[in-house]
Amino acid sequence: MKTINIANGEIKASEISLGCMRIDSLSKSDASTLINTALEEGINFFDHADIYGGGRSEEVFADAIDMNPTVREKLILQSKCGIRKGFFDFSKEHILSSVDGILKRLRTDYLDVLLLHRPDTLMEPEVVAEAFSILHSSGKVRYFGVSNQKPLQIEFLNKYLNHKIIINQLQFSIKHTGIIDSGLNVNMKNDASIDRDDSILEYCRLNNITIQAWSPFQYGFFEGVFLDNDKFPDLNKKINEIAETKGVTNTAIAVAWILRHPAKIQTIAGTTNPNRLKDICKASNVELTRQEWYEIYTAAGNKLP
């Protein structure tokens, strides 16, 4: 498994992370098999959120791995907070209490990374900064990030932070390419030229902010998986063709397409199937050519100007 450097190299993380949103549905035995498969494949980064399974996913993870200090030092743990039932909450009280709950469920003294889960338009950056300072000085959180935020939202927050944003988690897949489409269609009068994200890809690259791609196999907003989907015959034909030449599955090609981008995007794989996870991890050893990358991009229905 190849690694990427996060936080100016202070975090050496696997380029593929295990997303733990759905592990609350697993038995202890099955969860243990999944997590140990991840570790065996070279994954050291695990993505959580306080809302996953209503907190149950974090409990299942800690129980399955028999969390203790020896185990903990081998892991990079990330979790998220800020989403509540019907609203977003970046208040100091909620951030602090959320982290305490996360640490208790994960049975650890600290998080490597805490993300603010989606934007809160009622955010008071001074208040967030105060919460982050308390969490950092107490040793409860080492680094901080966000999810689904635009450049100016990050800039606005960073203005007040002593501990700057190092990660932005964004939806990105072969069939969800908004963060690159507008950059390829500059000065064009077509839908793809509409910059809905304010050049967030380039902004993150300029500011050494690691992008994490969530839902790497989804199209739309949780509308389904594009692989082996009859809705996308040209795309699947091209992916399967390249998969055969590389000796891997179509799953690996879908992830290799993300990893091929020089932005060094970390992929969050949310599977609960150990064998599928092994297939996904093979992407780390697949090198797509520039031509293959663009062939997949256009087979997905995208047109180059």
As annotated, the active-site residues are: 52
Residue type, 262: P
Q: Whole-angstrom Cα distance, residue 11 to residue 20?
A: 20
In the numeric block, the tokens 């709950």 are attached to: 101
Q: What is the DSSP string of 61-128?
A: HHHHTT--HHHHTT-EEEEEE-EETTEE---HHHHHHHHHHHHHHHT-S-EEEEEE-S--TT--HHHH
Residue with tokens 């993505």: 47
Are 231 and 282 in contact by the 8 Å Cβ rule? The answer is no
Structure tokens belonging to residue 140: 């409860």
Q: What angle do CA 46, 65, 280 make, to 5 degrees?
A: 45
